[in-house]
Structure 1
Amino acid sequence: MSAPVSAGVIPELFRGLFDDAAVFPPGNLPVAEAVPAHRVHRAAWYAEAVGPFLCGAGRLGELAAVPPASGAVGGATAGGVEEAGAAPLRVGLVLPGGSAELAPALAAAAPFELAGVELAAKDAAEAVAELDRLLPPHVPAAVELPRELLRGDGLDAVLDVLVDSPYRAKFRTGGLVAEAFPDEDELAAFLTGCAQRGLPYKCTAGLHNAVRHTDPETGFEHHGFLNVLLAAQETDRAAAAAVLAERDGEALAKAVRALTDRQVTVIRNSFTAFGTCSIAEPLGDLAALGLLSSPDPLPQEDR
């Protein structure tokens, strides 16, 4: 068995992988609690693993009302953005309401450091056109289409639209009902379709844990984020589905340790991040599998 990574070092495979979705289901942490918790994550030894704070357009008012970080020099500017002395809050704007929500949401998010936009839409071409028209050029974006539109020939059509744009795809890997979780073949079709086109993507929901498993309370079949990372390098659908179906954590950890630097680059150029309402869970899973070595205690459960 390979030695664990150096204490406090976040391996390249996991850097920026965990977008903080604490205010979304099933966590549903109040914004006033989630922001201080996010600041703790961003100041911790594992900060390199943590992406932006995800917030829906309808909660930007709550976000603006959160007091600045303690110790900030000069307090806060309008919108609750810290001045010199505290790291600014990087916000990922989540827009489930579609293209019509984009313009007002961008205006409301102006006081924040906008790390990205995630736009749900029923039409990929329309979403791309609106992003082209309204999004500042330095702000990245991801487009999420309903899963029913990504089945059969619909998947190829959507991915072909996105591959000719500067935007990532976004795929929903779980939710609050069993039907929200795609099986391994459906997810493999998406992953390999993106891999064949060189199209980057992010995932959301249901990926808190490293390894595929059945939730003992709900009975839902959850994909593991290690499974998805390893499947991201596959261009063959059957091969990707087999990786997604693996339930042996030690086997997945062994495969991760065997990755070359080039493979890690290919994987993370494809699978860029996923939203998780817990930062503690994925870190704890990585530590338990010997893929992360902690110099300090890991964070407590934050859901």
Structure 2
Amino acid sequence: MTAVPALFRGLFDDAAVFPPGDMPLPEAVPAHRAHRAAWYAEAVGPFLCGAGRLAELTALDLSGVPVVLVLPSGVAQLGPALAARPSEVDLVSVEVAATTPVREVVAALDGQLPEGVTAAVEIPRDGGGLARSLDALAGTPYRAKFRTGGLSSEAFPTEAELAAFVTGCAERGLPYKCTAGLHNAVRHTDPATGFEHHGFLNVLLAAGEPERAGELLAERSGKALASAATDLTAVQIARIRGSFTAFGTCSIVEPLADLAELGLLETPLENR
């Protein structure tokens, strides 16, 4: 029997080198390898690295480390990053901020992305272009990406904003990932900052019932969310994970601890 339930397998992309974690690369890569050898390895996604730090990877042992390149400045970074990629980097995907119209990003990905490498396009939160951006991605091989937090309160979308993204993707059959601010399973107010954090368990359930996305994203009862997650069928779980594929987190351990506390993940006896 696997230690990680299907609902959470491959859900946590390792963004340890990004804020607020900011782990140095020489520490983050060995830590990622340890995650991939741990009892919870099935929950761990690839290692995320900014395209500007490619050269730093060459001095590190990358065996068994699938890498995602993050291009915060847009698709103009893609060609140079691919050209500079060290041969030892196992590039599995790129994540591109849509600093230009999404249709232009899609065209560049179509023309430059190596075979076997996937991509996610970060949709801008411009208030009025969501439908247009999602339309441009619909029918392509690429996922949407949505920012769900950051270092300021403005970086966190409202429940309505995130619900519009979730339902918009569902209407178009468009898979997506999220990034930032989702370290915890349940929606909450951070007592230190006052920021309103979305919960990754809320997002998972909203992906399964997009018509109730607003309601599910607003739920603050861990007991209620855990009960709903426990009742999911295998078919429902497959549909959820076909939509909400992953999220970037600077901590792998923190979301796992939340799931254990909610009774959704059982830590093996030898690891307690």
TM-score by length of 2: 0.96
Alignment-derived partner of residue 99 in structure 1: 75
Unaligned runs of 5+ in 1: 1-5, 69-80, 83-87, 299-303
Alignment partners' CA distance in 1, 2:15 and 2:174: 23
Listed one character per residue, the Cα deviations across residues 27-72 of structure 1 (whole Å, up to 9, x for unaligned) are 0000011011101000011001000010001111112112x3xxxx
TM superposition shift of 1:126: 0.8
Listed one character per residue, the Cα deviations across residues 114-136 of structure 1 (whole Å, up to 9, x for unaligned) are 12100012210110011001001
The match for 2:56 among 57, 62, 86 is 62
Q: Which amino acid counterpart does residue 54 of structure 2 have in structure 1?
A: L
Query: Helix, strand or coil for the counterpart of 1:27?
Result: coil
The match for 1:145 among 123, 135, 154 is 123
Q: Are 1:297 and 2:271 matched, yes or no?
A: yes
Listed one character per residue, the Cα deviations across residues 70-110 of structure 1 (whole Å, up to 9, x for unaligned) are xxxxxxxxxxx43xxxxx22101100011110011112224
Alignment partners' CA distance in 2, 1:286 and 1:58: 34
- 8 A Cα contact 1:31 1:62, kept in partner: yes
Q: Are 1:89 and 2:65 matched, yes or no?
A: yes
Q: Are 1:254 and 2:250 matched, yes or no?
A: no
Query: Helix, strand or coil for the counterpart of 1:147?
Result: coil
Q: Which amino acid counterpart does residue 262 of structure 2 have in structure 1?
A: L
Report matched runs for 1:54-203 at 5 Å: 54-66=48-60, 68=61, 81-82=62-63, 88-111=64-87, 112-122=89-99, 123-148=101-126, 151-152=127-128, 154-203=129-178
The match for 2:247 among 274, 278, 283 is 274
- 8 A Cα contact 1:195 1:234, kept in partner: no
Alignment partners' CA distance in 1, 2:65 and 2:207: 30
Alignment partners' CA distance in 2, 1:109 and 1:25: 23
Query: Helix, strand or coil for the counterpart of 1:10?
Result: coil
Alignment-derived partner of residue 205 in structure 2: 230
Query: Helix, strand or coil for the counterpart of 2:157?
Result: coil
Alignment partners' CA distance in 2, 1:250 and 1:156: 34
TM-score by length of 1: 0.86
Alignment-derived partner of residue 21 in structure 2: 27
Alignment partners' CA distance in 2, 1:197 and 1:258: 26
Alignment partners' CA distance in 2, 1:105 and 1:19: 20
TM superposition shift of 1:297: 2.9
Q: Which amino acid counterpart does residue 176 of structure 1 have in structure 2?
A: L
Alignment-derived partner of residue 3 in structure 2: 9
Listed one character per residue, the Cα deviations across residues 169-212 of structure 1 (whole Å, up to 9, x for unaligned) are 00000000000000111000000000111100000000000000
Percent of aligned positions that are identical: 68
- 8 A Cα contact 1:287 1:293, kept in partner: yes
Unaligned runs of 5+ in 2: none
Alignment-derived partner of residue 193 in structure 2: 218
- 8 A Cα contact 1:213 1:222, kept in partner: yes
Q: Which amino acid counterpart does residue 274 of structure 1 have in structure 2?
A: F
Listed one character per residue, the Cα deviations across residues 201-232 of structure 1 (whole Å, up to 9, x for unaligned) are 00000000000000010100000000000001
Give 4+ residue runs of structure 1 displaced > 3 Å after superposition: none
Query: Helix, strand or coil for the counterpart of 1:232?
Result: helix
Alignment partners' CA distance in 1, 2:22 and 2:179: 15
Alignment partners' CA distance in 1, 2:71 and 2:253: 25
Alignment partners' CA distance in 2, 1:281 and 1:175: 17
* CA-atom RMSD in angstroms: 1.2
- 8 A Cα contact 2:123 2:130, kept in partner: no
User: In terms of mean alpha carbon deviation, does 133-142 or 14-23 score higher?
Assistant: 133-142
- 8 A Cα contact 2:144 2:176, kept in partner: yes
TM superposition shift of 1:156: 1.3
Q: Which is greater in Rg?
A: 1
- 8 A Cα contact 2:176 2:244, kept in partner: yes
Alignment-derived partner of residue 237 in structure 2: 264
- 8 A Cα contact 2:138 2:174, kept in partner: yes
Alignment-derived partner of residue 259 in structure 2: 286
- 8 A Cα contact 2:186 2:222, kept in partner: yes
- 8 A Cα contact 2:206 2:216, kept in partner: yes
